[in-house]
Amino acid sequence: MADARQDPAGDFAVVYTANGEMEAQGIKSMLEAAGIPVELRLEAALKLYAVTVNGLGAVRIAVPVARLDEARMLIETPAIPIEDGE
């Protein structure tokens, strides 16, 4: 789910809201591999209950405002699997 809300601090903006920590960690790894700093913002319910229901437990992924468009493009571009022998 795309979500370009500005962070109150002004440095980072939420680029995506993941459905749980596993999805968020995968996206975080992809963005960091591209050299984009990432902050994960976990809802308190995720730490207590480890579930995502109606937004409870969602993880917001924030990146520097200057890299927002680049991060959005990477998230929206499907990964291409690597074939053995190619």
Q: What does the CA dihedral 58, 61, 65, 67 come to, rounded to 10 degrees?
A: -150
Domains and CATH numbers, the chain: 12-76 (3.30.70.1530)
Q: What is the pLDDT of residue 12?
A: 95
Which of the pair, 72 or 57, is modelled with greater confidence?
72
Q: What is the pLDDT of residue 85?
A: 60
Locate 25 and state its tokens: 């960690």
Q: What is the pLDDT of residues 15-28, one digit of tens each?
A: 999 988 889 999 99
Q: What is the pLDDT of residues 54-66, one digit of tens each?
A: 556 689 999 999 9
